[in-house]
A and B are shown apart, each in its own frame.
Chain A
Amino acid sequence: MDTHPRKLLVIIAEAALEKALVADARRLGAQGYTVHDVRGGGRGGTREGDWEADRSVEMKIIATEAVAEAIARHVLATYCADYSVTMFIADAQVLRPEKFS
């Protein structure tokens, strides 16, 4: 089967950022994205997701390396100082490259 290399960018952040993150990702070239509601904890405490201000989301974007890095750089510069954000980039293999150009 033919596969094509892309990057999977995963951003876990406060739910308050969801709309902004979606807009930023679109603007910086992501063709699509997926968002889940999640809960978890880290050095800053736990986020149980019981109510509005305690919610977290996980956003997944599959894109070319350039687009994934541009979004990651923007998120680092814009949100990481003041908001709880966890982010990583992983290799992914896609079957239909035109969806993630």
Chain B
Amino acid sequence: MVARSGYTSRELRPAPTALLPDPLVLFFLLGLSARLLRSDLKVPEALYEALALYLLLAIGLKGGVELASHPLDGLGAQVAGSLALGFATPVVAFAVLRFAGRLPVADSASIAGHYGSVSVVTFAVATGWLASRGIAHEPYMALFVALLEVPGILVGIALARLHAPGRVAWGRLAHEVFLGKGIVLLIGGLAIGWAAGPERFTALKPLFVDLFKGVLAIFLLEMGLVVASQLRDLRRGGAFLPAFAIAAPVAFGAAGAWAGAGLGFSVGGAAILATLAASASYIAAPTAMRIAIPEASPALSLTAALGITFPFNIIVGIPLYHRFAAAAAA
């Protein structure tokens, strides 16, 4: 609308809505508020499953197409360095939880496993955040999501069983971890995207690339609902776990940013590696941990990983890790 004086009000100052968080975060907050206000809003379980399948496949495909069309110099070192980071973070998390937090071995190991693994949705929000600000990153970062999903889970289980020997059906567990839907869809998507290459992928692009952010928005609405239910358990625990759930991602994010800079990633790439290091799994890890470390309380790890760390990362963490990455590069 044109103001009476002849210029639009937008020319004078940015619209007040520009100060609000990303629309993606607003979708999350809508879900969170709806559940906290006891609205009957519910995302059908089948839709949640379908959206998760779409997101994992789309992330894999996009990464695979980029792998096919980019030179992969230095990728070996980046893979090795990221894996080392993936094995180190759960060990540090375990030590802090066990010795500073005085949590039982099983709980420390289970929570460490969640934090050692990664959150795919946090990754998707980070790439969206960077893209909307025009910050470039290595386009094949989806590969690192797949790589970093597993080490944390393995380390968590190994730590639990080193301290309290118990029967672990490693065969069944390996099946669960390596053939879980996350890994199958990410690796499958990467392989199909890589085999298709940019030209043959054009036909799939409208579904898997153009609609991605809209689907992610609906998924985040559901995440808001789930996180709000998880917050009910927060009142039961002490102050240590919430403090850990914020301090751990910041510390691991810093480690990821500096490791990313050292491994030759761009600022955007290092910010994503930092986000991956800072994020905690709530799809692959909970299932694997429930089977491998039954005596650990799932309420503790989920309250920390999903109730606190996930919202912290998508609202505060991602911009912070980008700053870390910029500082590390400088």
Contacts and interface: CB of A to CB of B under 8 A. Distances in A.
Contacts of B283: 52
Contact of B45 (A16, A20, A37): A37
B286 A49 contact: no
Contacts of A24: none
Chain A interface: which size bin?
10 to 19
Interface in B27-74: 42-43, 45, 48
B287 A53 contact: yes
9 contacts: A50-B45, A50-B222, A50-B225, A50-B226, A50-B229, A51-B226, A52-B287, A53-B286, A83-B294
Contacts of A52: 282-283, 286-287
A58 interface: no
**Most chain A CB within a 10 A radius of its CB, from B48, B232, B287, B299:** B287
**Most chain B CB within a 10 A radius of its CB, from A52, A54, A81:** A52
B251 interface: no
B102 interface: no
A91 interface: no
B247 to A, nearest CB: 23
B177 to A, nearest CB: 13
Interface string A45-79: 10011111110000000000000000000000001
A51 B43 CA distance: 10
Contacts of A98: none
Interface string A71-100: 000000001011100000000000000000
Contacts of B226: 50-51, 54
A19 B175 CA distance: 12
A45 B229 CA distance: 11
Contacts of A81: 294-295
A53 B222 contact: no
Nearest to A51: B226
Given A37-B45, A81-B295, 13 more contacts: A16-B287, A50-B45, A50-B222, A50-B225, A50-B226, A50-B229, A51-B222, A52-B282, A52-B283, A52-B287, A53-B286, A53-B302, A82-B295
Interface of B: 42-43, 45, 48, 172, 222, 225-226, 229, 232-233, 282-283, 286-287, 290-291, 294-295, 298-299, 302
B309 to A, nearest CB: 15
Contact of B290 (A37, A48, A51, A53): A53
Contacts of A54: 226, 229
A41 B242 CA distance: 25
A88 B35 CA distance: 33
Nearest to B225: A50
Nearest to A16: B290
A51 to B, nearest CB: 5
Contacts of B232: 45
B48 A50 contact: yes
A49 B232 CA distance: 15
B287 A48 contact: no
A53 B282 contact: yes
B302 A48 contact: no
A50 B291 CA distance: 20
